[in-house]
A and B are shown apart, each in its own frame.
Chain A
Amino acid sequence: MMQANRRKKNALRSRSEIILRSTVAAALVIFFFAFYFIPILIAFYGSFHLWNPLKGQFKYTGLKNWQTVLNNKLFWFSLKNTGLFSVAAVLARIVIGLLLASALFSRLVKAPSFLRTLYYLPTITPMVAVAFVWKNMYDPQFGLLNQLLGTKINWLFDGRYAMPAILLLTVWKDFGYAVVILLGGMYSLPMDCFEAAEIDGANAMQRFFGITLPLLRPTVIFIVITSFISYFQTYIPVMVLTQGGPGTKTHLASYLIFDQAFSKYNFGYASAMSFILFIIIAVLTGLSFKASGKNQL
């Protein structure tokens, strides 16, 4: 009798669990469809139209938007800028992240929790706020950067420095993310490998390049892929610091899309550009997986 009751209770619990799980899963699927899949389909459909939602304009134009994008020199220039910017930002993020994560992992550093928190703080600060602070730091007259370096550089209006200035801000804001993820990866590594290597006489460098880095490979690839996806969508620092200038020197593809969609309300044209960017990100992500030698992280 008691067993029957327990079975009944278990059955009820598992049924309620199934309902709960199904509800949560269904909610996520609905959310995904409503806010990702359907808008993507609408944007794809819209890319074949002269589309200005503010004027209620939605007129079929065939492949015109796509042809205009493919013939637009500024789009390709922005795409090249985006590629270079992303590679530099990802490299800096990984290198700084590895260096600082290793330092925190080595147990030679005091107060690692405090430092970990400190490094992560810029990551959780809103980009718009950070960008405005850095804009003041880059000011040629009273900016902190010129005062520290003793220079007279017009950082945001000099074509040689404007993009590196945006890059520096981006790296400063984002390196903490890599530190935390890599540190988490390091803590999960098997300690016996390190102990064995130490007994065999491997020095710190040998342990890092021989054990830590190969074992961290999935974590590094994860950071590379997520960083690429994120940096290919960068537009806020450009919007705040340079608005794509001087001239078009700091135009990034996502800024161009933002400008077309939300300054000029040319949604059809912006959608066509977005899809080209989407295809490029998908291809790069696929290549990253392939380069990792595995199909899973």
Chain B
Amino acid sequence: MKQLTQRAISLVLALAMLMAACGALAEDSTIIGSTIQYDTSKPVNNGEEISIEFWYWTGADKLFQAVADEYAAIHPNVKITLVENPYDDYWTKLPLALQGSDGPAIFNVHNSYHENIIGYMAPYEIPVEDLEADFVGVSAHIIDGKVYYTDYGMMTATMYYNKAMWEAAGLTEADIPKTWDEFREVAKKLTIRDENGSLVQAGFSFNGGAQGDVLGMQYQYGQNLFTADNKVSFNNDAIKAVIQRMKDIYEVDGSGDYNFGNNSGDNFGQGMIAMYLGWGFMHGLFQALWPETEFGSFEIPTPAEEIPYAYHRYNGESTFGVNKNAPAEQQAVAQDIVRFFLANDALQKRFVLANSVFPAKKSLAEDADIMSVSSIAVLASHIDRYIWPGPMPSAVENNMKIALEDIFYNGADIETALKNAEDTCNMELDGSEFVSVEPSYAYASEAK
């Protein structure tokens, strides 16, 4: 009887160990992702040791370290060396490094440098339809049926407001403006001047970066930024109306001043101005640099209450690039990291939150943590009404900046300044391979 009991116990123990072993095996072979899937049990480089370089620009070390650490935890045979460069240096060094075989196997991408790097990139090995199933906006990145990078998030402009100033002016949530006329009235209420009439607190400021705001607001009037033959269009009624309104906010309403601070983003954080139109990344920047400034966000106002052709433009925050000149085994690891990143919701969420961008991954579109970020949440109801013009060359923003400074600071008339900027920009774009993707916008047929 005793022997029988001992045998029974041994059998139970053996069964328990077997089940535990099966459980461990199941855990080792976790498959993550929905359509794009990543099998953590699949060895990389046949399990043999391999080293690769992963390049990115300054300011995102924790994010890239997280990717490297999580990947290395699954594949200890892969040594990822992270190489950080200041942003401007990065775009000089990277294309040169990609020309040889000893450059980084994988690297961070910004679509404004598309032209300089696309020739050195290998297409993703993930089928395009799988990418489209999991991510929005992929279609704009398809080149000859292949995708070389896509977006993990969409960044656009939202209006930030200082909550303390808002409250002090007697404003409530109900006063959040929907139209530009309402906005101007609110800006007046938020403006404070001293007894000499000097500005103490600006209701609104666009000093030092208005080109980023203007190049997007013309869409509210149904006006595209590029013509059918890929020429830039600055000198049009929509942009003239946008600039005239900006001038009026300062010169007619007195809600701001060209000389009241030279960097409206910083000035908002410093508590000099009450409202500021800024891109998503400013959300994190304000929290990091000026934690004492409490702020909220609302969607950019429109000329009328109806839904416009587009609220503004967005720019995609890009997924990683793979170096086609890297040795084949390094490229294979790089492709594997790309798949790991795209399939991994936790990493996607981390990147989205760090940059305050609207997630391109469909599975994260209603994520509670992401939607708790006010600058993202305000976009949620109609993110489809934001347009991406394509990887715009820097000449477009540079020339608009010159035109706006000529208008705001040098007293040039709007039409002359815009015409000069348009001519110069089109001269500089001559020979560029840029192709606008405005025609692929979902509501492109509504353009004027």
Inside 8 A of A234's CB, which chain B residues have their CB?
none
Q: A139 — nearest CB in chain B belongs to which residue?
A: B262
Query: Who on chain B is nearest to A269 by CB?
Result: B428
Q: Mark A89-132, 1 if CB is under 8 A from B, else 0.
A: 00000000000000000000000000000000000000000000
Which of B401-423 touch A at CB < 8 Å? 401-403, 405-406, 408-410, 412, 417
Of the candidates A50, A56, A140, A141, the one whose C-beta lies within 8 Å of that of B431 is A50
Is the pair A247, B395 in contact by a Cβ cutoff of 8 Å? no
The residues of A that contact B403 with a CB separation of less than 8 Å are 247
The answer to whether B95 and A55 touch across the interface, beta carbons within 8 angstroms, is: yes
Q: Are A55 and B119 in contact (CB under 8 A)?
A: yes
The answer, among A53, A68, A74, A139, for a CB contact under 8 Å with B96, is: A53
Min CB distance B204 to A, Å, is: 17
Q: Is A159 an interface residue (CB 8 A)?
A: yes
**A247 touches which of B92, B95, B410 (Cβ 8 Å):** B410
| Given A247-B405, A248-B402: A264 touches B394 (CB 8 Å cut-off) | yes
CB contacts (< 8 Å) of A152 on chain B: these are: 259
Nearest residue, chain A, Cβ from B113: A54
Is B329 an interface position by the 8 A CB rule? no
**Assuming A68-B427, A152-B259, is B410 touching A56 (CB within 8 A)?**
no
Q: Does B101 make an interface contact (CB < 8 A)? A: no
Asked whether A247 lies within 8 Å of B116 as measured between CB atoms, the reply is: no
Chain A positions within 8 Å of B99 at CB level: 56
Interface magnitude class on chain A: 20 to 34
| The one of B92, B115, B262, B427 that contacts A156, using a Cβ cutoff of 8 Å | B262
Residue from B91, B259, B427 whose CB has the most chain A CB atoms within 10 Å: B259
Task: Report Cα–Cα, A249/B272, bound state, in Å.
Answer: 28
Docked-complex contact A54 and B116, CB < 8 angstroms:
yes
Q: How far is the CB of A138 from chain B (nearest CB, A)?
A: 9
Please state if B92 and A54 are interface contacts (CB–CB under 8 Å): yes
* Residues of B close to A246: CB separation below 8 A: 405-406, 408-410
Q: How far is the CB of A25 from chain B (nearest CB, A)?
A: 34
Contact between chains at B394 and A245 (CB < 8 Å): no
Closest B residue by C-beta to A135: B262
Question: Does A52 interact with chain B (Cβ within 8 Å)?
Answer: yes
Report the Cα distance A101→B99, complex, angstroms: 54
Q: A55-B119, A248-B402, A263-B394 are in contact. Are A158 and B95 (CB under 8 A)?
A: no
B65 within 8 A of A: no
The reply to whether B258 and A52 form a contact with Cβ atoms under 8 Å apart is: no
Closest to B408 in A: A246
A219 within 8 A of B: no
**Chain B interface, number of residues (Cβ within 8 angstroms):** 31
How far apart are the CA atoms of A152 and B198 in the complex, in Å?
11
Q: Which residue of A lies closest to B409 (CB)?
A: A246
Tell me if B261 is interfacial: C-beta within 8 Å of chain A: yes
Q: Report whether B409 and A52 are in contact in the complex, using a CB–CB cutoff of 8 Å.
A: no
Interface residue? B85 (CB, 8 A): no
If over half of B's interface residues share one DSSP class (helix, strand or loop), that class is named, otherwise mixed; here it is helix
Contacts of B261 in A (CB 8 A): 140-141
Q: Which residue of B lies closest to A159 (CB)?
A: B410
Contacts of B92 in A (CB 8 A): 54, 262
Q: For A141, what are the chain B residues with a Cβ–Cβ distance below 8 Å?
A: 260-261, 272
Once the chains bind, are B409 and A158 in contact (CB under 8 Å)?
Answer: yes
Interface residues of A in 260-291 (CB under 8 A from B): 262-266
Query: At the interface, is chain A mostly helix, strand, loop or mixed?
Result: loop
User: A54-B96, A245-B401, A263-B394 in contact; A74/B424 too (CB < 8 A)?
Assistant: yes
Q: How far is the CA of A140 from the CA of B420 in the complex (A)?
A: 29
Is the CB of A212 closer than 8 A to any CB of chain B?
no
**Contact residues in B for A159 (Cβ distance below 8 Å):** 409-410
Quote the shortest CB–CB distance from A192 to chain B (angstroms). 58
**1/0 per position for A52-76, CB-CB distance to B under 8 A?**
1111100000000000100010100
A-B contact count (CB 8 A): 68
**Chain B residue nearest to A268 in the complex (CB):** B431
Contact A52 B116 (CB under 8 A): yes
Contact at B116–A55, with CB atoms within 8 Å? yes
- A139–B417 alpha-carbon span in the complex (Å): 26
Q: Is A157 an interface residue (CB 8 A)?
A: yes
Q: Are B427 and A56 in contact (CB under 8 A)?
A: no
Cβ–Cβ < 8 Å partners of B395 in chain A = 264
Q: Is A154 an interface residue (CB 8 A)?
A: yes
Chain B nearest CB from A159 CB (Å) reads: 5
What's the Cα separation between A28 and B440 when bound, in Å?
59
Q: Is the CB of B116 within 8 A of A264?
A: no
| 0/1 string, B231-265, CB within 8 A of A gives 1 | 00000000000000000000000000011111000
* CB interface residues, B 175-226, toward A, < 8 Å: none
Contact of A157 among B259, B401, B412 (CB under 8 A): B259
Task: Specify the chain B residue showing the minimal Cβ separation from A152.
Answer: B259
Q: Is the CB of B406 within 8 A of A247?
A: yes
Are A247's CB and B259's CB within 8 A? Answer: no
Output the least CB separation between B236 and chain A (Å). Answer: 20
Q: How far is the CB of A161 from chain B (nearest CB, A)?
A: 11
- Output the least CB separation between A211 and chain B (Å): 48
Q: Which residues of B contact A139 (CB under 8 A)?
A: 262
Which residues of B lie under 8 Å from residue A154 when comparing CB positions? 258-259, 262
- B-contact bits for A191-204, CB 8 A (1 contact / 0 none): 00000000000000
Give, as a whole number of angstroms, the nearest-CB distance from A203 to chain B: 49
Residue among A139, A245, A246 with max Cβ neighbours from chain B (10 Å) = A246
Q: Give the chain B neighbours of A263 by CB distance below 8 A.
A: 394, 398
Report the minimum CB–CB distance from B420 to chain A (whole Å): 8
CA A152 – CA B408 in complex, angstroms? Answer: 17
**Residue interface mask A149-184, B partner, CB < 8 A = 1:** 000101011110000000000000000000000000
Can you name 17 A-B pairs with beta carbons within 8 Å? A54-B95, A56-B99, A74-B424, A139-B262, A140-B260, A140-B262, A141-B261, A141-B272, A152-B259, A154-B258, A245-B409, A246-B405, A247-B406, A247-B417, A262-B92, A264-B428, A266-B428
Known: A54-B95, A245-B402; 18 extra A-B contacts, CB below 8 A, are A54-B92, A54-B116, A74-B424, A154-B258, A154-B262, A156-B262, A157-B258, A157-B259, A157-B405, A158-B409, A159-B410, A244-B402, A245-B405, A247-B402, A247-B403, A247-B409, A264-B394, A264-B395
Hey, which bits of chain B sit against chain A, CB under 8 A? 91-92, 95-96, 99, 115-116, 119, 258-262, 272, 394-395, 398, 401-403, 405-406, 408-410, 412, 417, 424, 427-428, 431
A-side residues, CB < 8 A to B, are 50, 52-56, 68, 72, 74, 139-141, 152, 154, 156-159, 244-249, 262-266
> Which 3 pairs between the two chains have the least Cβ-Cβ distance?
A247-B406, A246-B409, A54-B95
